[in-house]
Structure 1
Amino acid sequence: MKPVSLLLIFVLAGLLCQCITPINPDTRTLPPSLVVDGLVTDQPGRSRVSLSLTADYTATSLNYVVQGAAVFVTDNTDQRTAFNEISPGFYQPDSSWRGTIGRQYTLHVRLSDGREYQSKPELIRPIASIDSMYVEYSQQLKYGTDTYDKGFDVYLDLQDPATPNDYYRWSWVHYEIPQYCKIVKIPVCGNCLDHLEFGMSCCGSCWDIVRYQNLINITSDQAINGNRISRRSILRTPFNSYSTYYVEIEQQSLTKEAYEYLATLKDQIQNTGGLFDAAPATLVGNMSRVNDPEERVLGYFGASAMTIRPLYVDRRTAPTYPDVIPSPPPLPQPAPCEPCIESAIRTGKKPIWWRY
């Protein structure tokens, strides 16, 4: 290339660089909003309330949990039940307490700074029973790889009552005995950044709790009133072990208001933001601040009857090998154990139908 051409390239490049002006858009900072995820049911141990605050737009963390709040529910017979904080931001009543079908429940929350919030009353409607559940193994080649997505699909059937305006939601809770209660990291040498991982055993009986995440599995009987609901997909269990997979299937009743809220939320989650997608609707829950109804409060407090059925998935029936997840070795003996701390994701209480 000629020297004149090289000189011209450098001059043009310099001009382009000088034309680039960094843009620093103004960032709107909104005050944190309370996020409520609550449910009262007619089954003991299933009622719970989770409280958090939205993070600032520029924050990289998740929502902040709300600790130290006073949480309780009242019903239309003036009965009051306290919800105690069992882990940060997670509140539950006494394990034996249950709601009553036909009663209306209202959630009350008082934060540590004195702000008070209250829900609209929610009615516990009756729920149909589950007729049958069944499991089918399937595997599918993962896109762009030579590996398979292996798992067991769980379905159920039920008979919808002849009464109109029945609304359903399905969820599940999986329990399993953890291999370890804590993973510790030990440096390879005094001044090294490298480390080895070891597992600490639990000091006593313990179960990890895995709940459905971001699952909005709902339907209404508007088009099928009085008919059978068949082959309703509930969950897909992973095939990462030959051990039996224990899960409790929850079938819930919903009020019309709760169903419409969840349907709108589901549409927003599934909205991909394409050119022809509908604009997001304003998602209005049933919580508000006492004496300041204009404050934005997110989430919903619901009340539901619940049918619970345990299911044991025998993963030895699969026609192939599991995708085993490697785990660290146990801490060399003699080693201390780690207590099983009660929380939203771990418990020392044996699940009701556990038989191992």
Structure 2
Amino acid sequence: MRRLIWILIFGTISCIDPYIFDADEPIRMLSVEGFITTGEGPHEIRLSRVARYGPSFIGFNLPETRAAVLIKDDQGRVIELIESESGVYKLPGGFRGQIGNSYNLEIKLQNGKRYISRPEKLVSVPQVDSLSYRSVKTPTSNRFREEVGVQVTAYFQDPVEEENYYYWRPLESTFILVSEPDAEGTQGGTVASCCSRCFHKDVPKPANVITVGDSEFNGTYQNRLIAYVVDNGMRFKETYRLDILHLSLSQGAHMFLNLVNQQLSLTGSVFDPPPANIRGNMICLDDPDEQVLGYFFASDVQLLRVYIEQVNLEFYKIPQAFSPYDCREYLRLMDPLGRNPVRPPLLPTNPPDDWDP
């Protein structure tokens, strides 16, 4: 009987054959991110390779290094970009785009492949007169919990008999991070003695792409929603400084960004359109059928800045008690297990030099 058991065990093991998985090398598409403006910059172009698995899944980006990158205009000017870090190519300091000029981006990779963008004409953007903000509540899938956020509205005059396209791009912003220090409390075995107010930088969430054409309001005075920032319980405990670029666009860039926003807005419901790769304005000269991700555009720009004060909000989210200790330690508290190989810095307690609420 014992012999029979051993035969059954080894017989079963010997019947298992290893499965050799032979995966095809994923197709890596060139991705181009960047634009130039009439502002002082910095102006940069990011090149990377994106792995595509199947018809729609996009993998991680790998920087495309040691490429020759040029920007040319219709006046014969040629500007060479310098690779400042892996895959990031910067224009020289002092560069500013000129209204009325057309620009295109040219790229030559290490393997000799050449890419070029269609020309983008830089048109002026009507100036924003003023900004306002208000808090709003939005229902969520949880009927017991509403999303709280702040909407920012811009006021401006759209020119008569001009075809205008607008894009509002939020920048990294700064807010006062407020904690409740407890002199008697301890953290990691040390007594916390400071501080209650720190200055923290933040990328506004959600990452909405807000762009609009004036086909329905040509020539009229506008009040347009240009930004929405979710209240996470920390951003609006005192003052949040939101910076936004007010940009002009070509029709092609507007259509591209609209499609990007549709993709970002997919919720996974049956009513969503199928995800797809969006073709930009970059062309491979050696293989016109090759798909290149991204869009190069040129814009006139106005920097907008608004200080959102909690005292002016009708309602806000109940603050998250992230810690009763030193607000300077906030970034380190967000990584309690030390997964980040570089120890995060302490947050500053002094405002930026240009802080002027």
Q: TM-score, normalised by structure 1?
A: 0.69
Return the alpha-carbon distance in structure 2 between the equivalents of residues 115 and 175 of structure 1. Answer: 38
CA separation in 1, counterparts of 2:78 and 2:216?
Answer: 38
Deviation at 1:48, TM superposition (A): 2.5
The aligned counterpart of 1:219 is: 212
CA contact (8 A) 1:102 1:125 kept: yes
Counterpart residue type for residue 322 of structure 1: P
Structure 2 equivalent of residue 78 of structure 1: 76
Q: 1:164 to 1:177 in 2, by over 3 A?
A: closer
2:175, 2:93 → 1: CA distance? Answer: 21
- CA positional deviation for 1:33: 0.8
Gap change, CA 1:119 and 1:129, over 3 Å in 2: same
**Residue pairs, 1:47-66, within 5 angstroms:** 47-57=43-53, 62-66=60-64
Whether contact under 8 Å (1:310, 1:353) holds in the other structure is: no
Report the Cα offset of residue 165 of structure 1: 1.6
- Alignment match, 1:16: none
- Corresponding letter in the other structure for 1:123: K
Contact residue 164 and residue 222 of structure 1 kept, 8 A: no
Corresponding pairs, count: 296
Partner of 2:106: 108
Q: Distance in 1 between matches of 2:126 and 2:248?
A: 8
CA distance in 1, matches of 2:306, 2:204: 15
* Superposition pairs of residues 178-327 of structure 1, within 5 angstroms: 208=201, 210=203, 214-236=207-229, 238=231, 239-240=233-234, 241-270=236-265, 283-318=278-313, 319=315, 321-326=318-323
Amino acid at match of 1:263: N
Provide closer, same or farther for how the CA distance between residues 112 and 77 of structure 1 changes in structure 2, counting only shifts above 3 A. Answer: same
Residue 32 of structure 2 is matched in structure 1 by 36
Contact 2:161–2:219 (CA under 8 A) maintained in structure 1: yes
**2:205–2:229 CA contact under 8 A, matched in 1:** no
Aligned residue in 2 for 1:199: none
Change (3 A) 1:86 1:30: same
Q: 2:67 aligns with which of 66, 69, 72?
A: 69
Residue identity matched to 1:33: M
Ranges in structure 1 where 5+ consecutive residues have no aligned partner: 1-22, 180-194, 197-205, 332-336, 341-349
Report SS of the residue matched to 1:97: coil
Aligned equivalents of 1:258, 1:65: Cα separation in 2:
24
The AA in structure 1 aligned to 2:222 is: I
Tell me how large the CA RMSD over aligned residues is: 3.9
Deviates most, 25-34 or 108-117: 25-34
Check conservation: 1:175, 1:351, Cα contact below 8 A. Answer: no
- C-alpha deviations, 1:20-43, integer Å up to 9, x for none? xxx999976553110112211111
Q: Evaluate the alpha carbon distance shift between residue 162 and residue 140 of structure 1 in structure 2; reply closer, same or farther with a 3 A threshold.
A: closer
Contact 2:176 2:239 in 1 (8 A): no
Give how far 1:317 is off.
3.9
Q: 1:242–1:316: 8 Å Cα contact kept in structure 2?
A: no
Q: Deviations over 1:158-177 (max 9, x none)?
A: 11100232111111113338
AA at the equivalent of 2:241: Y
In structure 2, C-alpha distance between the alignment counterparts of 1:296 and 1:245, rounded to whole Å: 40
> In 2, are the aligned partners of 1:157 and 1:232 still within 8 Å (CA)?
no
Q: Does the Cα contact within 8 Å between 1:264 and 1:281 map onto a contact in 2? A: no
* Matched residue SS, 1:131: strand
1:190-218 CA distance string (max 9 Å, x none): xxxxx99xxxxxxxxx9846377753211
Pairwise CA distance, 1:291: 2.6
What is the rounded CA distance, in whole Å, between the counterparts of 1:225 and 1:280 in structure 2? 32
TM-score of the superposed pair, with normalisation by structure 2: 0.69
Shift of the alpha carbon at 1:137?
Answer: 2.1
Identify if the C-alpha distance between structure 1 residues 147 and 175 changes in structure 2 by more than 3 Å, giving closer, same or farther.
same
